[in-house]
Amino acid sequence: MKTTIVLLGPPGAGKGTQGEKLTDEFGYTRLSTGDMLREAVRNGTELGKKAKEYMDSGALVPNDLIINLMKEKIAGIKGGVLLDGFPRTVEQADALAEQLDVDLALNFDVADEELVQRLTQRRSCPNCNAVYHLVTKKPAKDGVCDKCGAELYQRDDDKEATVRNRLEVYRKNTMPLIDYYKKKGTLVTIEGTGDINKIFEQVKKAIQ
Ligand code: AP5
């Protein structure tokens, strides 16, 4: 079984959704830079104060902040790890390669209009970071997290104009990582549209 997995793909491709399922079923530690940054913003830490304006506009947070953050987090990990939202630039991927060998880069391919629809209708849990969708993955009780009972919210960067900017930023800065991992022989691309559980079957095959 693969032990160091990078989840790649545009905003809304299902990295969090499939990562959560992998963690629940196989016990991977999931490190999501987006979740860490949102927590830092909520707690008003130095990192949060520096990251907020980039995140609100859909831009990437500067590489040095992210690389320092992840270096520290990765150093404490034992066992299988899922990296969700990191690396997002070639500079971040090079920094990661100095610390860890990536076994598998799992890339989710989804069309832009589907991504916009998904993100504008996403609802997130501020407490346990579970993700829902108003149509395709509704919580059992409206507005309440199934897992921990917290009140769900809409992320500030899930408004349509910001989502479209995030897609541009993805194309310019993160898409080159598809070739980066293809050259290393670790890339597997999965069609990320359709039933969440059927996609998870493909994910399970890829990690074997
Ligand atoms: P981050 O939180 O990482 O956002 P993202 O990459 O844009 O990814 P998302 O969380 O939006 O999408 P996802 O692929 O996880 O999709 P999900 O499973 O939720 O980053 C946010 C910001 O932080 C960045 O913009 C940047 O500013 C900063 N940042 C983070 N990392 C950084 C880094 N390394 N460097 C610099 N800056 C960084 O699914 C989306 C929705 O679709 C949900 O509602 C879900 O229920 C639904 N859904 C999922 N699968 C399906 C399906 N098959 N069919 C229908 N609906 C589905």
> Which pair of structure tokens corresponds to residue 6?
């990078």
Query: Does 26 score more than 90 pLDDT?
Result: yes
Domain ranges of the chain: 4-28+79-207
Confidence label for 13 from pLDDT (cuts 50, 70 and 90):
very high
Query: Does 76 score more than 90 pLDDT?
Result: no
- Exposed, middle or buried: residue 193 (CB in 10 Å: 0-12, 13-18, 19+)? middle
Query: Does 63 score more than 90 pLDDT?
Result: yes
- Between CA 204 and CA 208 the distance in angstroms is 7
Q: Taking a C-beta distance cutoff of 8 angstroms, is the pair 66, 95 a contact?
A: no
85: how many CB neighbours lie within 10 A of its CB?
A: 23
> Which pair of structure tokens corresponds to residue 137?
């993955």
Could you say which of 15, 38, 118, 123 is catalytic?
Answer: 15
Q: Which residue has the tokens 């995030």?
A: 166
Task: Of 5-14, 72-81, 92-101, 144-153, give the lowest mean pLDDT range.
Answer: 72-81
CA contacts within 13 A on the Cβ side of 166: 27
Mean pLDDT of the 7-11 span: 98
Could you report the per-residue pLDDT of 80-102, keeping only the tens digit for each?
999 999 999 999 999 999 999 99
pLDDT above 70: percentage of residues in the chain: 100
Residue 79 phi/psi, 5-degree rounding, is: 85, -165
Mean pLDDT of the 192-205 span: 97
Coil, helix or strand at residue 147 = coil
Confidence label for 169 from pLDDT (cuts 50, 70 and 90):
very high
What pLDDT is recorded for position 114? 96
Query: Does 56 score more than 90 pLDDT?
Result: yes
Best probe residue, ligand 1, of 15, 83, 134 (max atoms within 8 Å of C-beta): 15
Pairing of strands 81-84, 29-32: parallel
DSSP E strands in 144-206: the ranges are 187-191
What pLDDT is recorded for position 145? 98
Cα 101 to middle of ligand 1, angstroms: 24
What pLDDT is recorded for position 78? 86
Residue 96 phi/psi, 5-degree rounding, is: -65, -40
Residue having the nearest C-alpha atom to atom 34 of ligand 1: 86
Residue having the nearest C-alpha atom to atom 21 of ligand 1: 34
Mean pLDDT of the 67-73 span: 95
Atom of ligand 1 at shortest distance to CA of 199? Answer: 53
Pairing of strands 29-32, 122-124: unpaired
Q: Taking a C-beta distance cutoff of 8 angstroms, is the pair 96, 5 a contact?
A: no
Q: Is 88 a catalytic residue?
A: yes
The CATH number given to 4-28+79-207 is 3.40.50.300
- Between CA 194 and CA 67 the distance in angstroms is 34
- Between CA 82 and CA 3 the distance in angstroms is 8
Cα 78 to middle of ligand 1, angstroms: 25
Confidence label for 10 from pLDDT (cuts 50, 70 and 90):
very high
Give the residues surrounding ligand 1 with Cβ less than 6 Å away: 9, 11-17, 33-34, 37, 54-55, 58-61, 66, 85-86, 88, 92, 118-119, 122, 131-133, 136-137, 157, 166, 194, 196, 199
Mean pLDDT of the 183-194 span: 97
Q: What is the pTM of this model?
A: 0.95
Mean pLDDT of the 129-147 span: 95
Could you say which of 30, 38, 88, 118 is catalytic?
Answer: 88
What pLDDT is recorded for position 81? 96
pLDDT above 90: percentage of residues in the chain: 97
